[in-house]
Amino acid sequence: MVDFDTLNAIIAPEAEAMGLALVRVAFFGGDSDPTLQVMAERPETRQLTIDDCADLSRRISDRLDALEEAGKDPIDAAYRLEVSSPGIDRPLTRRADFADWAGHEAKIALKEKRDGRQRFNGELIGIDGDVVTISDKEGVEHKLPFDSIDTAKLVLTDKLIAATVPLSIEGADEMEEEGQD
């Protein structure tokens, strides 16, 4: 079993030292392909460059290797480290995410059923204290305790695409031209 509090305590300072905000730490893949997934972003842009990914990956690897050498490895089996941006249809993991992305379409799954439902899709209204509000397709608002949320993510829509400006598209034309023969 992976102790996410311990992993977050190890990884968050490495991200923060680079001026990054940690979005999510997850472990998946089971025995066949165990993967430690780390998502981070620059708070001012909500994005991460490839260089940021590589630098953060090295920092995390160095830190975890040092812990392993000291006999304090938080993960007791072999695994693959994956560092990435949260992407455009990003997971919503922090309270601030629910405020920052209000007005966009989202999918929320609860840990347990609430009022006979476990999944909610619709427009994210926001968060007030510890209560996330989402309005479904019929316009019914559902108030969900933050701690009851298992997973939440944005849905890829034209509105979300328009709200998400890439850091740079420099070189995109050259890449397309090189690929065409």
Rounded to the nearest integer, the mean pLDDT of the chain is 91
Q: What is the pTM of this model?
A: 0.82
Those residues whose C-beta lies under 8 Å from the C-beta of residue 123, and which sit 6 or more positions away, are 103, 104, 105, 106, 134, 135
pLDDT digits (tens, 9 = 90+) for 31-85: 888 999 999 999 988 889 999 999 999 999 999 999 999 999 998 889 999 999 9
The predicted pLDDT at position 115 comes to: 83
Residue 173 has pLDDT above 80, yes or no: no
Where residue 154 falls (left for φ over 0; alpha for ψ -120 to 50; beta otherwise) is beta
Give the separation between CA 153 and CA 93, rounded to whole angstroms. Answer: 8
pLDDT digits (tens, 9 = 90+) for 45-54: 888 999 999 9
pLDDT digits (tens, 9 = 90+) for 116-144: 999 999 999 999 999 999 999 999 999 99
pLDDT digits (tens, 9 = 90+) for 83-96: 999 999 999 999 99
Just give the CATH number of 95-163.
Answer: 2.30.30.100
Quick one: 4-84 is in which CATH superfamily? RimP-like superfamily, N-terminal (3.30.300.70)
Residue 166 has pLDDT above 70, yes or no: no
4-84 and 95-163, same CATH topology? no
Q: Where are the beta strands (DSSP E) in 29-175?
A: 35-41, 80-84, 105-114, 117-128, 131-135, 141-145, 149-154
Residue 177 has pLDDT above 60, yes or no: no
Written as six digits, the tokens of 43 are 């708070």
Where are the chain's structural domains? Answer: 4-84, 95-163
35-41 and 80-84 strand pairing: parallel
